[in-house]
Amino acid sequence: MKLLQNMNENQQKAILKTQGAVMVIAGAGSGKTRVLTNRIAYLIAEKNVLESNILAITFTNKAAKEMKERIYSLVGETSKYIWINTFHSMCVRILRQHIDLLGYNKNFTILDTSEQKTIIKNIVKELNLSEDSYQPNNILKIISNSKNSMISVNEMKAQARFGFMKNVAEIYEYYQKYLKKNSVLDFDDLMLKTIVLFEKHPEVLAIYQNKFEYIHVDEYQDTNVIQYKLIKMLSEVHKNICVVGDDDQSIYSWRGACSDNIINFEKDYEDVEVIFLDQNYRSNSTILDAANAVIKNNTDRKDKALWSENKGGDKITVYSAANDKDETDDIAKKILDLKAQGIDYKDIAILYRANYLSRSMENSCMAFGIPYKLIGSLKFLQRQEIRDLLAYMNVIVNRNDEFSLRRIINVPKRGIGASSMAKIDNYAEQYGLSLFEALKNIDMIGVSKKIITNIHLLTQLIEKYSQTEQYSIEDLIVGIYKDSGYESMLKESADAYAESRIENISELVSSAKQFSSMNDNLIDFISEMSLTSDADDENEDDSVVLSTVHAAKGLEYRVVFIMGLEENLFPSIRDAESSEDERNKMEEERRLAYVAITRAKEKLFMSYANRRMQFGSIKNNKRSRFLDEVPNKLMHFESGFGATANDSGESQLESVTKFISRLSPKIKIADKPKTDVRTNYVVGDIVVHKKFGEGKVLSIEKDSVKVDFEKVGPKILLIEYANLTRKE
């Protein structure tokens, strides 16, 4: 059978076992996507299962797209009837059909993070709370965790009767009321409202339980409480469920993922078939041996080890840098060498534990002329002009979306200042109207003729394009762009970036054309745009990828650099509340290291800095325990101190010292004399620096001093090299 060709024994087993509950433990690079797609194709071609009765859930749009393309190549045109979705896009599809039962408009719009922050900020002001104490990022994190743990507003209010959390509960309540009034949902609501819909309307749940005879879930180890519940509810009737995951790649506990879901799967379903995919098709054996050696130190896992027929491979290069600049400069030099050897920039990734580490790496890339792409930078869909046009589209499909309407009401400029806006809001409140209805009555509000004319043009535009069936999506975007005055605004703008913004809008139109070839529904297009994430971006340009390890999960590269491998940085287990919590966090950090290592196909470089500027002071760092867990025989050591390290991890100086000591115990190698770094100044003293001139001592650490210089501002200097003199 063609669908089983070139499959190993366990892969075949995972494809053929179609009835009941199946758990596929798929190690990194073990071909799980191919197994999933061939399994679905097998159900259609050999088991005569209707395409519309199959559900496949992934975690990213990119993964969903890849799966759709692969299944299309196997079964053809009918594959479009299979539900291949992320959790969020699946819930959007269901809610578009039934959310009116919960009192929402079916044409609801979806908020992005920046819009959420603005709403929270406004609520904090309205409640007269401190903006410093109730920062939008922190509040949204609490609300998101509450929703993903299925804690309602009333439950939070009952649990938090005083203090900070009492106020957060009140913000949560105001926030949810605002969303409902405007018929908008945030990302977390998409899943939560689906659960609420299923619980309040079991007849709706029954439709989807009967529909989905076969359910597939990718990356099951990343599911949270609410995702687990959704899957459990949907699979209740047919119980044909196949989950694919790897407990060794569970790295999202901080956003609610519950690794116990994969551990407990066998308890949740009867007669579970567990199949291990442990043959790796991505990396060479050196890289895999390193990954296995690290992860085996975790205890809370299913025992397994990845293996590959691709034997050998270069040793892993470990670089001991003098400082963070030395580390990133060395990476840049090595990248130029790799480029000279014929490896494209886009086949190289630099991974780090914390986002802030990218700054130094970016500086080195720019200094050495290396093009790079930063995952997590301002994405296309977050750019102002794109958000503006999407806001116009949101209002066209959902006039209750007050947030989007407020965004565009004076974009382009229509002369509506704070006082005019206050009049409009007062009128709406007085007569119990929505903001759009108030704008329809602009003649009655007592604003200038200019504003009346401009608002009439705006409402007419919205009503004109509300007849969405008369326009293709690209024609509608172009129409809004021209009729709203946005085009004229950009073309007449003195803004240096105006040309670039016009190009971005052109790209949006291209995206709409591409989407229209498969689906000409405006609401679906807006949903697709709203659900796009960083991980979905293709690296089409020849650029080195800079990314956190978290963001790189699921990706692979010919060459990978893992930087910042230092204790307290990677691993990072800050804020552990107990020894048990510390153990759990350390195990997750080790899983993160495992994910990082297994992104590499051919070459792996690892590095750490002995000294690093962190949070305003210079830290002396110890290399990460994860490096110590990799056998020395797999590594080649280099050093930024002028002496190249040998493969046992010792510098040449260390080796020579040991050798001489063995020859003659009487011979002693004198230690490097310690520099006296005692200071003759204290905090508050005025000191003089040869280059920076006079300054005031702000603080003194163990090996550094912070001085506020008159000419150049605050500087942190190593005491050893500062040569400061106190001004008498």
List the catalytic residues.
Answer: 32-33, 218-219, 249, 599
Signed CA dihedral, 241, 532, 142, 570: sign only: positive
Residue 684: phi, psi to the nearest 5? 105, -20
134 φ, ψ (degrees, to nearest 5):
-120, 70
Query: How far apart, in Å, are the Cα atoms of 617 and each of 83, 568, 614?
Result: 52, 15, 6
C-alpha to C-alpha distance for 141 and 116, rounded to whole angstroms:
11
Grouping H, G, I as helix, E, B as strand and the rest as coil, residue 667 is coil
Contact 561, 605 (CB under 8 A): yes
Distances (CA, A) of 30 to 36, 225, 279, 280, 406: 12, 27, 6, 4, 49
- Parallel/antiparallel/unpaired status of strands 686-689 and 725-726: antiparallel
Helices (H) and strands (E) in the chain, counts: 30, 21
CB of 481 closer than 8 Å to CB of 389: yes
Q: What is the DSSP string of 401-433?
A: -HHHHHHHTTSS--S--HHHHHHHHHHHHHHT-
User: What are the residues facing 482 on neighbouring strands?
Assistant: none
**CA–CA gap between residue 24 and residue 184 (Å, rounded):** 37
Q: In whole angstroms, what is the distance from residue 15 CA to residue 38 CA?
A: 7
- Give the other-Cβ count within 10 Å of 397's Cβ: 21
423 vs 441: CA distance, rounded Å: 12
Cα–Cα distance list, 370 to 345, 346, 376, 457 (Å):
8, 11, 18, 49
* Of 699, 714, 183, nearest in space to 400 by CA: 183
Take residue 44 and report the two structure tokens written for it: 């259609």
Q: What gap in Å lies between CA 322 and CA 498, rounded to an integer?
A: 44
Of 300, 245, 240, the closest CA to residue 271 belongs to: 240
Give the number of other Cβ atoms within 10 Å of residue 403's Cβ.
22
Secondary structure of 170-209 as H, E, C letters: HHHHHHHHHHHHCCEECHHHHHHHHHHHHHHCHHHHHHHH
Q: Give the CA distances from residue 724 to residues 312, 612, 701, 717, 721, in Å, rounded to whole numbers and listed in that order.
A: 54, 22, 15, 10, 9
The residue behind tokens 């041996």 is 289
